[in-house]
Structure 1
């Protein structure tokens, strides 16, 4: 009966680094196999797996002894039965040998938590001289450990990961008899940063967005929780988010959505993470105590963090493609607990950076004479959005250059005037928004041009004009009316034509009047002579 319980225990004892993972039962065998080995399914190269024999038998018989890889006497005295030890377990009180430990572990009241505590105590008392070390089989994507004697073993990932996107594997308690396969127990979270793309109203999430200066840009950070968290004493992770100079965080916009493994929102969660904002350096942190969160609902498997930031006047603005610098990046990464043996929950793990980009663009305007093609000064323009509102602008300090104003800007204007260069720039334009350029006043002696509807286009059919990661602008064109294939850096050309010439006094005009007057006088004389002759007759 005890042997069966011990076998069942070994099958159920699975924990990550601070934990134990057992994937097979203790079994009784009649003869020693010719070869014993542990094969660890783990495709990550560079780990250091070692195995130590804990018991010299594969079943909990009375003759079971401590294995050659463990100092069982110190394990019992210093930790399992020592009330001052963090690994103390009252169930071992009075136990003095390996057989007694095995019997306690097969008792009806032995729990998974007891197994975790036992596993945590082992690493302190292993005997390095009796370590069985692994080698990596790259072709198979697995580690192999040759074992001299059958028995009950603990397998330890002996490497500590600091700053890497890795976590220590689980302790694995395993009966070894012949070739024994086990699966690495590595648990680590993931982070993905996304930006809402408002183009064409699809409101999709991805790595690239484009907006008008002054817009509130929406972001989402998706993180996962590894299942192995349950075996840590303390498990935390922290989102680190770095905005570019072109963003101002809307601090009150942060909100958190908790999801289960099927992406179904988990309701009734009152937990709130610790938020720390550094507005000067344009970065913030959000720290989650995952153990506390799961205590409220163990079904939580994912966290989505939402916030918005205003695209401000410091944003980099693209004029033309190709461009890989004016992309206003936003970067996030996650640091996380990655060593279950560390009771402090130190965040030594770090995910790769997840980066998104937000683009904004420039309208280039050209004011010319429709006949001579000369540049024209004195034209006044206003820019309207899709709803007909006149947009406020601010001068940038560069000649003929303006940008869309934000709510914090002062000294704004609504009308710009061209100088003798006839060229002007309006920075901070969104793509796919149908703007209207209105000529409020034409240059002297010229007729006013009609309103010009335009929009900037980053797409070519179904092909998006950005690189796959969104960091490079490959295509930017300007559409006048419904369609145009002009490059955006050429911009809009607005022509003015002069009106018809009105007559003035003097010159040919007076000669005409004098000629007509003379004709009238001559006509009157002829008429008088004719009348006199008629009377004589």
Structure 2
């Protein structure tokens, strides 16, 4: 049995400790085995007391280190002259709420003192096992129970792995399976961040909290005695966070990284997540997994890498994280971090940032505006240092990538749709070597659809090798073409701000082709704060007036390309009509001369 006369100190806001001023041991046979007993007979009384004070202080400081090492709470002891004992949970973190959360107190040991009132600070405190509880703990091949268990705890250091393992084992073996009943509990009322567990008896307590939003966790260990009837614990509720961002390829948007981007099909899109280092006190293992899900229009490039900075100058060694592709139906990939080792290796404290960068290609399955191509991520993290199976997910964060289309209708001067015109879409005005290659999706609802091929080089090489303008790959059944045939067509997969040039390669029979390429520029902007909706408009310009923009709708832009028929446009460099006039005059003159000659001959004959 342990006896000590103690003074409680609150000099440090997070760590509580006890300063022992006197230590008495019972006169038992067991004590006779103490190596200090023989010295007691020859020591002077004051010298003996001084020596034992040092021993007691060291032992009980280690015991109370279990209290101070509580991972999720910092405890402050208060003195009170009342006759009841209580533990108050007081959340001062404005970022996280504990409203609705339930806290339970479990008594591990008795803790009694001989103090008459709170002014009797030299009164001895006795820690004893609780009858019927029979706490048992095995470490290093030895099983500890009762007073031996208290003795073992006195050898452990603050925040040590051994101490955390002990707390984990007590939780699993006695609390989680219901072998230990709570001494008291409280549910924090709505709209408040403070609650008190009342009607407790003096003793050494483990406080345990549970809530569906934060998981279950052991949150504090406190001592209640006459000298300290009321304890206040302040939850350390700082949880890791995740921010998801996409890099915009348009400098005019003002912000390079945000929640909105737009691209041409085939572009490589840059993404990143920014996550924070959690509070790791009490954890020997910490689940920290980034889950990332890409929509069908995005092809992950399997290049995720983690950095300590946003400039990508401080890469995290690959031994501290693992990237796994397609681990589940909902995940494109995950990044699992050995957080305890990582934080130790780089001396990272809670709140430090980790940056994970990766890319995706916008593919032919991309949704075309007014639909978008989302990329969603969340962080799965540990919620209980004593139970690895208990994890919580951060809220999902989503960013959006957009790609656009134009609708082109070939008409005559009266606005009637005509068929048979052929076009190329160029990236450089007048240069037909810069033709875009398309996936020919054939007619859909009367509109022939052409989607920009994601790999332009491969598609162009395929057509060049075959010396054709259109080719169907027998393996994929995808038809590639560099020629748009109108009627009415839809061109999918365009980016905003880029300049596109519509070149009329051939006009329908009886119609005149455009004399110059039409310049098409799309302008897009987010329609709401999170970027999940976008507006787009078009500007179409050319050297002639044979086109008109019909509409600039919220989900498309459409315009007509007009061909004239029935007359030739003015031209130069030809032989003109003068020669034909001269020939006509000559023929007429010759005919007149011939007629007169015949008449004269006829008259002579008469």
Which residue, 60, 73, 84 being the options, matches 2:141? 84
1:403 shift after superposition = 1.0
**206-215 or 130-139, larger mean C-alpha shift:** 130-139
Contact 1:431 1:456 in 2 (8 A): yes
TM-score by length of 1: 0.75
Alignment of 1:404-423 (within 5 A): 404-407=452-455, 409=459, 411=471, 412-418=480-486, 422-423=487-488
Q: Does 1:494 align with 2:561?
A: yes
Whole-Å separation in 2 of the counterparts to 1:433 and 1:244 = 24
Determine the C-alpha separation between the residues in 1 that align with 2:236 and 2:363.
Answer: 46
List alignment gaps of at least 5 residues for structure 1: 525-537
1:205 aligns with 2:257: yes
Distance, in Å, in 2 between the alignment partners of 1:232 and 1:154 is 17
In the other structure, the counterpart of 1:366 is 409
- Give the structure 2 partner of residue 348 of structure 1: 391
Identify the match of residue 111 of structure 1 among 140, 144, 158: 158
Distance 1:19-1:212 versus aligned 2 partners, 3 A rule:
same
Q: Does 1:455 align with 2:521?
A: yes
* Deviations, residues 325-382 of structure 1 (Å, cap 9, x unaligned): x21222222222221112xx3353222222222211111112222x322223332211
Q: How far apart, in 2, do the equivalents of 1:383 and 1:171 lie?
A: 68
- SS of 1:293's partner is helix
Secondary structure of the 1:74 match is coil
Alignment of 1:8-407 (within 5 A): 10=16, 19=71, 21-25=73-77, 32-34=81-83, 36-42=85-91, 43-53=97-107, 54=109, 55-57=111-113, 62-66=124-128, 70=130, 74-75=134-135, 78-79=136-137, 83-84=140-141, 95=147, 104=154, 110-113=157-160, 116=164, 119-120=167-168, 123=171, 131-149=183-201, 152-157=204-209, 159=210, 161=212, 164=213, 166=215, 168=217, 170-173=219-222, 177=228, 180-200=231-251, 202=253, 204-227=256-279, 229-251=280-302, 253-259=303-309, 269=317, 271-278=319-326, 283-299=332-348, 301-318=352-369, 323=370, 326-342=371-387, 345-346=388-389, 348-369=391-412, 371-385=413-427, 389-398=434-443, 400-407=448-455
Greater relative contact order structure (CA < 8 Å, 6+ sep): 1
Aligned to 1:470: 531
Aligned to 1:432, the other structure's residue is in SS state: coil
Between Structure 1 and Structure 2, which shows a larger proportion of strand residues?
2
Deviation, structure 1 residue 71: 5.5
Q: CA deviation at 1:165?
A: 5.2
Which TM-score applies when normalising by structure 2? 0.67
Change (3 A) 1:63 1:279: closer
Contact map agreement 2:68 2:158 (CA 8 A) in 1: no
Pairs aligned (count): 480
Distance 2:164 2:582 in 1: 112
- Across the aligned residues of Structure 1 and Structure 2, the Cα RMSD in angstroms comes to 4.3
